[in-house]
Amino acid sequence: MTLDVQQDPGPRATSDPRPGISGLDPALLARWFTDRGEPAYRARQVSDAIWSGATDSLDAVLTLPSALRAPLAEEMRFDTLADTEVLVTDGGETEKGLHRLSDGALVESVLMHYPARARSRERHTLCISSQAGCAVGCPFCATGELGFTRDLETAEILDQVRHAARRLHVDGRRLTNIVFMGMGEPLLNLDRVLAAVEALNDPKRFGLGARHITISTSGVVPGIRRLTALGPQFTLAVSLHAARDALRDVLVPLNRRWPIVEVVTAAREHAVATGRRISYEVTMIGGVNDTDIDALAMADLLRGDHAHVNLIPMNPVAHTPWQASPMAVIDAFASTLRDAGIETTIRHNRGQEIGAACGQLAAERAGEPSAPTVARRRALLVTASAAALRGERSREPAPDGVGE
């Protein structure tokens, strides 16, 4: 079976060679000034402006003499997002940002506002992208359908956060949570993701507590091990989707490289080493991964673990033959997990009408594949999921670019 992954030969350079200031190590920024005979505190002025939420251009950094602004702008970009289109839905509770990067690549972020409840304060959660496209190619995911374009630079990751922070700042609000659940596989761009997390965490830069940052992975085992070695940094979410390899081979093609037992073992080691609970994500697809057999297999797999399972009804994605599981089926699945002592919640999708499953807008903008391509893809998925339900494992190799 082929999953129609359109693979680029490798990462392309961004067309604007100037680094984004937000992604720069603070020591390097300070050196830029001291090399020019300027005091190092100038770097702090720029950094404060970058992270303040109030400033959207270098010209507005009035603390910096104008004679320094021009040479700085020549060598660095204040913002790596060339253009952003914001679409608002859910009565203003969900805002989707479609960002164009300097080479024309499109990435998405989603800002979700949650009102205060009896036991929780008001929250503003931003879902950000770590890559343009994704090489993993999960067939229910709009980003997977796009294929891989390139890794994002650290500044391109951070500037999605700055964009949302500026929008919130206008109303005197702040981001409370950041999740790497947008486009791309964060653990396949881990150096830049870690540099971004460091900036987000740093009290002198964005200053968001590690507990408020979640990184989601489709199961890149060496990446999970690297995070474990770093110690408790943030919440790890693992996109599980199925507890049987035959089915997970289809739903998350890198399962052919790192099967379920390896992923769950690495996740358990992470939980033990960091004392932090693992979050498992399961996208619920009607008739595909929501059967009683699947619920029991997941209950057996996770019984006794320090884990939390989030069941998410699948957001309909064009060109797949699949739909979300009915609510009653999701409830029954949740009961099976809870009966096994596994903490389980059901997450309701936000922003379906503007395609809040990240990648959907970008996929639409990428243009329609031909009708025969769509028909072939649908037929392959139906055959593949039927084979998986019979327990037959895929003989296809893992997608290119996900192993090492």
Single out the residue of 22, 102, 143, 315 in contact with ligand SF4 (rule: CB under 6 A): 143
Interface of this chain with ligand SF4, residues 237 to 296, rule: CB under 6 A: 239
User: Which span sits near ligand SAH by CB under 6 A: 254-262, 307-315, 375-383, 388-396?
Assistant: 307-315
Active-site residue 358, yes or no?
Answer: yes
Instruction: Provide the CA 194 distance to its chain's centre, in angstroms.
Output: 13
Please tell me whether residue 152 binds ligand SF4 under the rule CB under 6 A: no
137 contacts ligand SF4 (rule: CB under 6 A): yes
134 is a contact residue toward ligand SF4 (CB under 6 A)? yes
Segment interacting with ligand SAH, rule: CB under 6 A, options 72-80, 133-141, 255-263, 290-298: 133-141
- Give the nearest distance from C-beta 315 to ligand SAH in angstroms: 4
How are beta strands 131-133 and 213-217 bridged, if at all?
unpaired
Establish if 236 lies at the interface with ligand SF4 (CB under 6 A): no
Question: Applying CB under 6 A, does 312 fall inside the site for ligand SAH?
Answer: yes
β-bridge mates for residue 125, sequence order: 112, 177
Tell which one of 156, 281, 290, 294 touches ligand SAH (CB under 6 A): 281
Q: Which residue, 22 or 218, has its beta carbon nearer to ligand SF4?
A: 218
From candidates 105, 141, 175, 307, binder to ligand SAH by CB under 6 A: 141
Stretch that binds ligand SAH, among 97-105, 108-116, 199-207, 210-218 (CB under 6 A): 210-218
Cβ atoms 221, 186 nearer than 8 A:
no
Is 279 among the residues that bind ligand SAH (CB under 6 A)? no
- Of the candidates 95, 108, 153, 156, the residue annotated as catalytic is 108
Nearer to ligand SF4, 49 or 127 (CB): 127
Query: Which one, 154 or 279, has the nearer CB to ligand SAH?
Result: 279
**95 near ligand SAH (CB under 6 A):** no
- Report the residue from 314, 337, 361, 388 that binds ligand SAH according to the rule CB under 6 A: 314
Q: Which of 134, 138, 141, 358 is catalytic?
A: 358
In the chain the first and final C-alpha atoms are separated, in Å, by 22
What string of H, E and C letters represents the secondary structure of the chain? CCCCCCECCCCCCCCCCCCEHHHCCHHHHHHHHHCCCCCCHHHHHHHHHHHHCCCCCHHHCCCCCHHHHHHHHHHCECCCEEEEEEEEEHHHCEEEEEEEECCCCEEEEEEEEECCCCCCCCEEEEECCCEEECCCCCCCCHHHHHCEEEECCHHHHHHHHHHHHHHHHCCCCCCCEEEECCCCCHHHCHHHHHHHHHHHHCCCCCCCCHHHEEEEECCCHHHHHHHHHHCCCCEEEEECCCCCHHHHHHHCHHHHCCCHHHHHHHHHHHHHHHCCCEEEEEEEECCCCCCHHHHHHHHHHHCCCCEEEEEEECCCCCCCCCCECCHHHHHHHHHHHHHCCCEEEECCCCCHHHCCCCCHHHHHHCCCCCHHHHHHHHHHHHHHHHHHHCCCCCCCCCCCCCCC
Assess contact for 294 and 247: CB atoms under 8 A: yes
184 binds ligand SF4 (CB under 6 A): yes
Taking CB under 6 A as the rule, does residue 283 contact ligand SAH?
A: yes
Report the residue number, 180 or 206, with the smaller CB distance to ligand SF4: 180
Among 19, 23, 53, 144, binds ligand SF4 (CB under 6 A): 144
User: Does residue 46 interact with ligand SAH by CB under 6 A?
Assistant: no
Q: How far is the CB of 48 from ligand SAH (least distance, A)?
A: 31
By the criterion CB under 6 A, which residues form the site for ligand SF4? 134, 136-138, 141, 143-144, 183-185, 218, 239
By the criterion CB under 6 A, which residues form the site for ligand SAH? 134, 140-141, 181, 185, 216-218, 239, 281, 283, 312, 314-315, 317, 357
Which residue numbers are catalytic?
A: 108, 358
